[in-house]
């Protein structure tokens, strides 16, 4: 049987991922228990529930097993400044109390719901918020491509860690299907999958959880409403009166299920000439105003037509940079959302 001192010796070469010194030297090993061929450890890490924690976990397990330990039990906790530690083992999931859920909905496809979800999430993160984004558009998931996400979530045992991009933690159905195969699921399966997105992912602390809903008022939208009675709704429409008319149905569903409608975002609201600054209302005018009247809410922002700049160094085809004109409009939208939620 191994002694505690021997375990410490074995752990010495392993680095604390954030402090760049050994976990032993950094006093990260808080508890050691050895019972026959079983070693149980409690480790304090600078950033609990991070991908680094997962790598450290693997390294510790592999190292101990390499030294002949048969089974390893590991618990992590958040490292505290004053040498005090607080267990986070029960807090790995997002704590619902603090998290504001915002479902982004539209009456029909193609109005820019996913583009708005992605840019709202990124802008909230730019405001310093902890943001999660669930691509709940499980039939037509597009968020990873839009944000230029190539990697897949890290998995450790039963834990799944969302992929982080521009400070936003992202989970999409795209991560779980092979080769972009279409998802053909029936209603009950969809609800189950959404449930998994909420409960089986290690979100950590989240201030704002954005949900990119499928277009329309189908099963998934309804499931989200049932599952998250507290979620707030943001409705995306184009300025065309017909689009707004269809969007009103999505809004009506939110209201019927007692959900708070935060407001309306009018996307593709106008085209602004770079030369003259003149605005052309390509898709008509008045749709969002009509919708807000109907839903007794307000227009949170109007986004003109325009594609994000293409950047080779940080490819994300649908994310507007912070200093671009549309990026700034999204920043104002994020500020307004924060003000409305936190006032």
Ligand X SMILES: Nc1ncnc2c1ncn2[C@@H]1O[C@H](COP(=O)(O)OP(=O)(O)OP(=O)(O)O)[C@@H](O)[C@H]1O
110 DSSP 8-state letter? T
Residues 192 and 319: their CA atoms lie apart, in Å, by 30
Query: Among the candidate windows 32-40, 197-205, 294-302, 304-312, which touches ligand X by CB under 6 A?
Result: 304-312
The strand pairing partners of 154, in sequence order, are: 161
Residue 74 or 247: the one with the smaller Cβ distance to ligand X is 247
> How many CA atoms does the CB half-sphere of 4 hold within 13 Å?
8
22 DSSP 8-state letter? B
Pattern 188-217, ligand X, x by CB under 6 A: ---------------------------x--
Interacting residue with ligand X among 46, 222, 306, 321 (CB under 6 A): 306
Residues 290 and 295: their CA atoms lie apart, in Å, by 9
Q: Is 98 within any annotated ligand binding site?
A: no
* Shortest reach from residue 81's CB to ligand X, in Å: 42
Q: Which of residues 69-108 bind ligand X (CB under 6 A)?
A: 106
Interacting residue with ligand X among 303, 319, 329, 334 (CB under 6 A): 303
Q: Is 108 within any annotated ligand binding site?
A: yes
* Shortest reach from residue 242's CB to ligand X, in Å: 15
Residues 250 and 241: their CA atoms lie apart, in Å, by 15
Interacting residue with ligand X among 267, 292, 297, 331 (CB under 6 A): 267
> How many CA atoms does the CB half-sphere of 332 hold within 13 Å?
12
Query: Among the candidate windows 46-54, 58-66, 93-101, 303-311, which touches ligand X by CB under 6 A?
Result: 303-311
Pattern 268-287, ligand X, x by CB under 6 A: x-------------------
Q: Distance of alpha carbon 262 from its chain centroid, rounded?
A: 19
In a 3-state reduction of DSSP, which class is residue 162? coil
Residues 122 and 98: their CA atoms lie apart, in Å, by 19
Q: Is 89 within any annotated ligand binding site?
A: no
Count other C-beta atoms under 10 Å from residue 270's C-beta. Answer: 18
Q: Is 107 within any annotated ligand binding site?
A: yes
Q: Is 284 within any annotated ligand binding site?
A: no
Pattern 107-146, ligand X, x by CB under 6 A: --xxxxxxx---------------------x--x-x----
Decide: is 218 part of the binding site for ligand X (CB under 6 A).
no
Per this entry, what is the length of the chain?
343
Can you say whether residue 232 is alpha, beta or left, with left for phi > 0 and alpha for psi between -120 and 50 degrees?
A: beta
* Shortest reach from residue 333's CB to ligand X, in Å: 12
Residues 6+ apart with CB under 8 A from 236: 104, 105, 106, 111, 112, 113, 116, 247, 264, 265, 267
Residue 140 or 241: the one with the smaller Cβ distance to ligand X is 140
Decide: is 307 part of the binding site for ligand X (CB under 6 A).
yes
Q: Distance of alpha carbon 120 from its chain centroid, rounded?
A: 11
Interacting residue with ligand X among 254, 318, 319, 331 (CB under 6 A): 318
Q: Is 112 within any annotated ligand binding site?
A: yes
Q: Is 187 within any annotated ligand binding site?
A: no
Enumerate the known binding-site residues for ATP: 107-114
Site residues, ligand X (CB under 6 A): 106, 109-115, 137, 140, 142, 215, 267-268, 303, 305-307, 318
Enumerate the known binding-site residues: 107-114
């Amino acid at each position: 049987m191994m002694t505690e001192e021997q375990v410490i010796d074995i752990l010495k070469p392993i680095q604390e991922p954030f402090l760049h010194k050994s976990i032993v030297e950094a006093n990260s090993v808080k508890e050691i228990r050895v019972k026959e061929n079983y070693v149980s450890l409690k480790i304090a890490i600078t950033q609990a529930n991070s991908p680094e924690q997962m790598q450290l976990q693997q390294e510790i397990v592999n190292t101990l097993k390499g030294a002949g330990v048969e089974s390893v039990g590991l618990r992590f906790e958040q490292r505290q400044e004053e040498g005090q530690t607080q267990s986070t083992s029960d807090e790995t999931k997002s704590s619902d109390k603090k998290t504001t859920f915002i479902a982004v909905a539209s009456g029909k496809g193609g109005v820019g719901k996913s583009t708005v979800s992605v840019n709202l999430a990124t802008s909230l993160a730019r405001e310093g918020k902890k943001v999660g984004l669930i691509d709940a558009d499980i039939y037509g998931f597009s968020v990873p491509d839009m944000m230029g996400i190539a990697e897949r979530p890290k998995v450790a045992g039963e834990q799944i860690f969302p992929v982080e991009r521009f400070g936003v933690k992202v989970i999409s159905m795209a991560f779980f299907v092979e080769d972009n195969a279409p998802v053909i699921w029936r209603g009950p399966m969809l609800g189950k999958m959404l449930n998994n997105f909420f409960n089986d992912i290690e979100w950590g602390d989240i201030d704002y959880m954005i949900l990119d809903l499928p277009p329309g008022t189908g099963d998934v939208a309804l499931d989200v409403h049932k599952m998250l009675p507290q979620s707030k709704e943001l409705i995306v429409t184009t300025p065309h009166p017909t689009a707004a008319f269809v969007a009103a149905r999505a809004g009506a569903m939110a209201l019927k299920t007692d959900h708070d409608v935060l407001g309306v975002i009018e996307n593709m609201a106008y085209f602004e000439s770079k030369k003259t600054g003149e605005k052309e209302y390509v898709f008509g005018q008045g749709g969002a105003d009509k919708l807000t009247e109907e839903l007794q809410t307000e227009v949170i922002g109007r986004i003109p037509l325009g594609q994000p700049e293409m950047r080779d160094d940080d490819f994300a085809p649908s994310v507007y940079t912070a200093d671009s004109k549309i990026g700034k409009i999204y920043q104002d939208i994020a500020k307004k959302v924060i003000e409305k939620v936190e006032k």
